[in-house]
């Protein structure tokens, strides 16, 4: 369990993605080759998830150590409603207020969080450069592709999928459908079927670029959850009539 530490003042220094995708050499693997997550990849997956969860815990800790009034003020400055749901999703233009380095300033506080983000981005950069991935993936023309299931359900289940889709649109990231053979292979690795949207493939080279913005969305979801729980606790508090 992480030890709660009150966050120091915000820092505008944002770690940069350590890998230039255009500099990656061509892979020796054949096009459309399928790669699985065998026993040898499990320690690597566990290590990455530990880095990812550490960072997420630091972000959520930032929320828990911020006064509710400040959270409400921050939220009110966004053009996004607390009541937006999957049934009535926010408009595409509204999510832009949660993207970019300025939006990260609110949670990217102190050297510990900055170092945690840098560690995750460096590890993702290594996966891109080495054309390896500890999660279910496929190889196409020497490039690694992961299903959106990895992003939406494994890494960021707390973030609404419609928000993540809008991040992809803002970054002009194109998802690709799976072939029948790729679909069967991924279902075997995941040990369960999933929707066609979650089967769509994301080029791994884009993940270091979109990851920080999805963390912004994660911070937003933590704020909404914190304020929602506060509202419930206030409603549950017994009303004392003045004497």
Tell me the whole-structure pTM to 2 decimals. Answer: 0.74
Q: Considering only CA atoms, which of 149, 166, 146 is closest in space to residue 220? A: 166
pLDDT greater at residue 52 or residue 85: 52
Answer whether 230's CB lies under 8 Å from 68's CB. Answer: yes
- pLDDT for position 116: 98
Q: Is 137 helix (H, G, I), strand (E, B) or coil?
A: strand
Domain ranges of the chain: 30-79+89-229
Percent share of the chain, pLDDT over 70: 69
Nearest to 160 by CA among 218, 206, 203, 227: 218
Whether 231 has a pLDDT exceeding 70, the answer reads no
Assess whether pLDDT exceeds 50 at residue 10. no
- What are the CB-based long-range contacts (under 8 Å, 24+) for 23-30? 24/128, 24/129, 24/131, 24/205, 26/142, 27/131, 27/139, 27/142, 27/143, 28/142, 29/131, 29/139, 29/142, 30/139
Task: pLDDT band for 78, please (50, 70, 90 cuts).
Answer: confident
Whether 98 and 78 have beta carbons less than 8 Å apart is answered as yes
């Amino acid at each position: 369990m992480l030890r709660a530490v009150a966050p120091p003042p915000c820092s505008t220094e944002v770690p940069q993605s350590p890998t230039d995708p255009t500099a990656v050499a061509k892979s020796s693997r054949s096009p459309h080759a399928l790669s699985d997550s065998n026993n040898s990849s499990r320690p690597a997956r566990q290590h990455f998830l530990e880095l990812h969860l550490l960072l997420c815990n630091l972000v959520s800790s930032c929320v828990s150590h911020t006064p509710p009034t400040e959270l409400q003020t921050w939220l009110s400055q966004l053009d996004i409603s607390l009541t937006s749901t999957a049934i009535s999703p926010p408009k595409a233009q509204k999510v832009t207020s949660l993207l970019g380095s300025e939006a990260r300033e609110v949670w990217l506080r102190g050297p510990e969080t900055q170092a945690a983000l840098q560690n995750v981005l460096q590890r993702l950069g290594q996966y891109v450069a080495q054309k390896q991935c500890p999660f279910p993936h496929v190889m196409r023309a020497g490039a690694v592709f992961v299903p959106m299931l990895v992003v939406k359900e494994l890494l960021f289940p707390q973030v609404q999928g419609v928000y993540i889709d809008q991040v992809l649109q803002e970054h002009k990231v194109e998802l690709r459908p799976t072939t029948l053979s790729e679909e069967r292979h991924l279902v075997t690795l995941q040990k369960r079927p999933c929707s066609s949207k979650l089967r769509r493939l994301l080029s791994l080279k884009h993940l270091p670029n979109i990851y920080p913005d999805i963390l912004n969305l994660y911070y937003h979801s933590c704020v909404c959850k914190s304020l929602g729980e506060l509202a419930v606790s206030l409603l549950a508090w017994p009303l004392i009539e003045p004497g």
